[in-house]
Amino acid sequence: MENIVFPQGFLWGAATAAFQVEGATGVDGRTDSIWDAFCRVPGKVVGGDTGEPGADHYRRFEQDVALMKELGLKAYRFSIAWPRVRPDGGKVNQAGLDFYRRLVDTLLAHDIVPWPTLYHWDLPQKLEEAGGWTERDTAFRFADYATATVEALGDRVGTWTTLNEPWCSAFLGYAAGIHAPGRTEPAAAAAAVHHLLLAHGLANDVIRSAAPDAKVGITLNMYPIIPVDPGNPADLDVARRLDGLQQRIFLDPLLRGEYPADILADLEPFGFGEHIVEGDLGVISAPMDMLGVNYYTEHYVSSSPNGSEAAPSPWIGVQHASFPRRDAPRTDMDWEVRPDGLTAVLLRLHHDYPRIPLYITENGAAFRDDFSGSGAIDDVDRTGYIASHLRAAHTAIRAGVDLRGYFCWSLLDNFEWAEGYAKRFGIVHVDYATQIRTPKMSARWFSRVARDNALVAVS
């Protein structure tokens, strides 16, 4: 393998999310999130599984942090559960805050950088019953939650992420109905987009006030949107619309202080502009210190319906679009393995938007684990996936992209949203019955990469 060395100080870590790994959903004052409620709806989650007990990280975090240290990880990206800190969106719950104090202190004691995300999709169910992200007030309740959290942890946490993948929260949760809260209301999804971005801006201001030296950012899931036929105006228009809903509707207000004019027009039938109040875009576009990028695959799109009459339901206002299959390796999620798309995403941000430090905050793959006769887990496909994407990231760095870190998704096998526990992304295997953790081959290999700050041969 060629010698691929990453820049000095490059940050190597792994990531999880509260609802996916913590378990203990009814412990120490935590109340229901929208995902607790969604998991109870028959047919919404594979196997009807819930986040309890899952990987039981709430009770086993010390063991897990020790494992991170053993693997040589330098940072841990985790999310804080809103319904633990302010149950039902109400008053502060000290027991919930104390858990995250203990987690942060344990990470620091092991020389691991805590990298918390304030929102990874677990809106308190009581707030959803009051309208959820369709209501402007939810953004202000998020600011209250951010205030309590940052005041408790801001003296020990140097980097904060406000939201994880607001596209999923808005479009999968409110338009497609395949994520919590399970609504299929296009106008609600349009409202949720703006209110999530407003929540980010308000939280950014809260963090600046409570922890002036902290760095603040947001994490977006990004994918190249590639037309099947670049010479076909209809394919180009489908790609424009999907790119606008997936990427530009978030990037442009955050980094340019404005929504894309074409997407404003596309969403006019859904009342999107009615939610934008004077001054909002100034709040949303307040300077950030970094942008997190979650990358898994590409979208290859056509204007041909291919037997369907409409685009998949998340893409509101888009008719006659399809996602043709190509001859490519696929993960257990049936996602194409396309590492070059990561290079393309990073270069687009570098060339098309104001410069901002970038971090890959999620990248990884679900594959079926292969247990050898010795009990080792030889996850060759997962290891190869990560290696190929690290090469793609390094290509972007060589081209001038200011990429400063990489977080593997995920540290632990976990609850994979609508897929329940049927899919495994972890570099560490979790036996959910016994709670035994077993580092896979990918974990041992990634450990060497982190220690060497360089890509090493897969063996």
**Domains of the chain by range and CATH?**
4-455 (3.20.20.80)
For residue 338, pLDDT beyond 80: yes
Give the residue carrying structure tokens 């378990």: 23
Nearest to 340 by CA among 406, 384, 393, 304: 393
Is residue 362 part of the annotated active site? The answer reads yes
How many whole angstroms separate alpha carbon 302 and alpha carbon 305?
8
Strand 437-439 with 428-430, pairing: antiparallel
Confidence of residue 350 (pLDDT cuts 50, 70, 90): very high
Reply yes or no on whether the pLDDT at 453 is more than 90: yes
Average pLDDT value for residue range 101-110: 98
Residue 79, preceding peptide bond in cis (omega within 30° of 0): no
Residues 179/173, Cβ–Cβ less than 8 Å: yes
Which tokens belong to 22? 């913590």
> In degrees rounded to 5, what are phi and psi of residue 220?
-120, 145
Task: Count other C-beta atoms under 10 Å from residue 208's C-beta.
Answer: 16
Q: How confident is the model at residue 310 (pLDDT cuts 50, 70, 90)?
A: low
Smallest CA-to-CA distance from 113 within 163, 78, 85 is with: 78
Nearest Cα neighbor of 256 from 140, 361, 189, 349 is: 349
The pLDDT confidence band at residue 375, using thresholds 50, 70 and 90, is: confident
pLDDT, residue 373, reads 67
Q: Hey, what are 432's tokens?
A: 């959910």
Q: How many CB atoms lie within 10 A of CB 284?
A: 26
Average pLDDT over residues 294-319: 86
The pair of three-digit structure tokens given for residue 34, joined into one six-digit string: 């929208």
> Given this model, what pLDDT does residue 219 score?
99
CA 127 to centroid of chain Cα atoms: 21
Tokens at residue 121, please? Answer: 């999709």
CA distance 337 to 43: 28
* pLDDT for the residue 2: 62
Residue 374 has pLDDT above 90, yes or no: no
* Residue 286, Cβ density class (10 Å: 0-12 exposed, 13-18 middle, ≥19 buried): middle
CB neighbour list of residue 272: distance below 8 Å, 6 or more residues apart: 190, 191, 193, 194, 264
- Token readout for 36 is 């607790």
- pTM tops 0.85: yes
Q: Please give the residue that has the higher pLDDT: either 457 or 345.
A: 345
pLDDT over 90 at 458, yes or no: no
Look at residue 311 and tell me whether its pLDDT is greater than 80.
no
Residue with the bigger pLDDT between 51 and 276: it is 276
Please check the confidence at residue 1 and state whether its pLDDT lies above 70. Answer: no
Percent of the chain having pLDDT more than 70?
Answer: 98
For residue 3, what pLDDT is reported?
75
Which of 22, 165, 336, 416 is catalytic? The answer is 165
What is the DSSP secondary-structure string of 145-198? HHHHHHHHHTTT--EEEEEE-HHIIIIIIIII-SSTT----HHHHHHHHHHHHH
* Amino acid making up residue 11: L
What does DSSP say about strands 299-301 and 113-119: parallel, antiparallel, or unpaired? Answer: unpaired
Please give the radius of gyration of the chain, using alpha carbons only, rounded to the nearest integer: 21
> What is the per-residue pLDDT for 142?
98
